[in-house]
Chain A
Amino acid sequence: MTYTISPLPHVKSRESVKSVMWGTVAALIPISLAAIYLFGFPAIKIILATVVAAVVAEIIIYKAASQPITIDDGNAVLVGLLLALLMPPSVSDHIWVPIIGAVFAIAVAKYIFGGTGTLVFHPALIGFAFLLAAWPTFMGAQSTPNLGGFSDLLLETGAGRLVESSPALVLLGGAIVLYKRYVDRRVALSATILLILLILITGKGWQLPYVLTGGFFLGLVFLAADPITSPVTKRGRLIYGILLAVLILIQLHFGAYFTGMCFAVLMMNVFSPLIDRSTIPKPIGGK
């Protein structure tokens, strides 16, 4: 009788990279459906275009570089879906624009930086920033959401982007991924709570309705607290969330709402390794 010999542990949790990525995708499905309900065919067109473009780009690039293809881990689908949600529905008239964004996200932000796990910037945000710089006219939202009442929380009729169609559904997805720890709780909660407090303290309370929309919740929970690009140390994650809130507040001061939030997250991504390196904890027992 021969027995298997292995290092400990001899049981492992059920969570895997696949369950983390696909679980996050699943948490974004309600808001995607709400976007389709509100915007109709253009929303379907954009979501399909970016997801398929991201997946195809990943297959082609990884095949060309003779690297193992890891489409089944769901990362490309997640990047494509997140990018689609950042788009205004009007871009569906020029569907090549989001397609280029998705390809750019995978090719530059993901592949060149070393693939899943070694990223510096969030690929979906890089794709968005690239499109914003290259074709600003197509990226402009037709309207800016303003949370006026309870019905706006469920279905925001003034939504300018797919993700802004329903703050409540983004929060629902956010609550799921926070509960399952698919995104980092410390970053998401510290940034969200501090941002709201800062807005109230600095007397910019009139801006709150513009901030409590789906776009900001998506940015703070799904983009900023993304495990790959946020810091790892316990203190570092809090610092990251706090700095992010301050940075967003500065952007708000100059009237940049949704795009300001996206660029604040991208800027914080730069500091993530530095924050990690300077907050290495001491083990139990101190010095």
Chain B
Amino acid sequence: MSSNPSRRNFIRRTAALTGGALAAAGSARAAPLPIPQANQEPGRVIDETAYGMPSKFEAHVKRRRTDVFKNRQNLSDWSMTPLQHQPGIITPNGLIFERHHAGTPDIDPKTHRLVIHGMVKQPLEFAMDDLTRYPSVSRFYFHECSGNGLTDWLKPASTTVQQTHGLLSGVLWTGVPASTLMEEAGIDPKGKWVLFEGADASAHARSIPMEKVLDDTIIAYAMNGEALRPENGYPVRVVIPGWEGNVSVKWLRRIKVGDQPWHLRSETARYTDPMPDGKWRQFSMVMECKSVITAPSGGQKLKGPGFYEITGLAWSGAGKVRAVDVSVDGGRNWREARLEEPVMDKCLTRFKAAWNWDGQPAVLMSRAVDSTGYVQPSVQDITKKRAIVGFVQHHNAIQPWAVNANGEVRNVIGQA
């Protein structure tokens, strides 16, 4: 980016801010303002009871299924968070992405039971009103599906950041530390793995190392200040921070302690990574450091040259985001973006960088670095190590967005 257009824009903005006589080029002078109708008539009354909903003018902000291909059924399916419309780092409950293996059950919390058994001193059963009596914790974490980016590796298939990266949400989870319940049951010292199983029609299950369960795993019954939503595991789920979403089993009914992993379909034939020698990488559950620019992003259109704030999200399942770099020339030159507080462990972090677009074609990218020193790779970096064939999981590569001279922004993954 040459410095001259930046300087021109700076002078232009300074003139506008000081109320100078120079009208900004291309901006028509504002017309006199009438009194808005909303100032001159009462609004809606307060209902006796209500659950508030977004403005009718925000009806376009919705979860959506993939538009890249059509599933032949919608029970084992997914819908994506509209990240391009999300400011900050928290996703509203109605917009948190979904991934189910056999649909959303409606479970009555009065009859739901959670059990812990297997290699424990005393198998235990918990009702929901037992679980909510324990000392609780509330923690902010990112939540990401292992398949986020599934359709966009070597060439672009998705249009918007919702479609490329929307299997991602930011949530404040509330529940009981798993360690509290495990210790009450009494873990056999030989118990090294823990099976979590759902009460849904897939009885989805995964094996998790005991070390992670006792470290920061939560048996969660609330999200973002209210009970879990049905599609997110109501009335209770496990939350395994920083790891691929499907290990955080929803509609949790059973916890079993064992001395080795179970090697279920969900951890052999699914959620494994193809390697160049024909093998599969298994138990790759940490979601590695990643970032994406949410604005300007695919499908948006810039209103002409001038100031834009490049902003996006960064996260790491291995710790905190330490830095995010932004490039506007397709990865040739980078500068460090500003991280907005709070920056939390295994949580979405918002980054921002000022940009004066000179009206020329540009390619925007972001690259995150986490507290372990790990640098977010390019697709080419990943391709050197893994086989990119079929539905590849754990895609954490740099996402390029191309801006053309008309200001149209499009996905150019694999091309920049």
Asked if chains A and B come from one complex, the reply is no
Q: B: which residues have CB within 8 A of A?
A: none
